[in-house]
Amino acid sequence: MREQEIAESVQRALDEDLKGDSGVQCDITAQLIAQNKQAKAVVITRDDAVFCGQAWTIEVFKQLGNDVKITWHVKDGDFVPANSPLFTLQGSARSMLTGERTALNFIQTLSAISTQVKAYMDLIATTQCKLLDTRKTLPGLRNASKYAVLCGGGHNHRIGLFDAYLIKENHILACGGIKEAINMANTHHPELWVEVEVETLDELRQALDAGAQRIMLDNFTIEMMQQAVSLNKAHSNVADLEVSGNVSKKTILAFAQTGVDYISVGALTKHIQAVDLSMRFVDNDE
């Protein structure tokens, strides 16, 4: 993640609370507290979680005046049992309360993704199959979500529409066929890898014949996946095979055991439940 991108996303989030003013003066409730009041607070997780969001938290308090010190008890990618402390804050009580929700919003969302990824990864740990994310992310948090996937032990698919080809059904129809679409892709950007989505074994053969580097098996049955793996191994152009569609925690192991290389799961970034977090002021002597 680029520091500038993190700073920009934090700024937008703070603007939502502070009416576009990066100072704490727009937090009218925090104004009830004396300006020089110092405090200490601990943030804990109420859920088992894989933590993610350290850089965003640091940036929140940096933008609010850098008058809050953060002591970390975890780092991104750490598994944290429920009721464990994540970090301690010490400094301006006003800044602490103003930044609380923004910081926790980032952590609860990114940690939810990392936690979800780990749950899926644990299910296929006995296989060589790699778990991929998708572009089904919250608007404005694409790269943050992709980073959270890595923290959970998963792998990133393409970042956007610019860094790799994913030729799907409508692209194929508009281009006039699988071979035609792949040929055009190789002509336009030969330096980028080309993936093609197929819905039948015949389309798989066409994609292999046309030189696709990765082939997405869309909504294939387990039997079709097994046949696809065999066809691919026997072909002169061996491609990476990726499974997509109907993937759940109940089905993913059986899919992975067919011998496919990748499984992509939109649920990693869109079917998540925020991690339950809590911030409490404590005695400065604790």
DSSP letters, the chain, are --HHHHHHHHHHHHHHHHTT--SGGG-TTGGGS-TT-EEEEEEEESS-EE---HHHHHHHHHHTTS-EEEEES--TT-EE-TTEEEEEEEEEHHHHHHHHHHHHHHHHHHHHHHHHHHHHHHHTTTSSPEEE--S---TT-HHHHHHHHHHTT-B---SSSSSSEEE-HHHHHHHTSHHHHHHHHHHH-TTS-EEEEESSHHHHHHHHHTT-SEEEEET--HHHHHHHHHHHHHSSS--EEEEESS--TTTHHHHHTTT-SEEE-THHHHS--PPPEEEEEE-TT-
Residues with catalytic annotation? 101, 136, 168, 197, 218
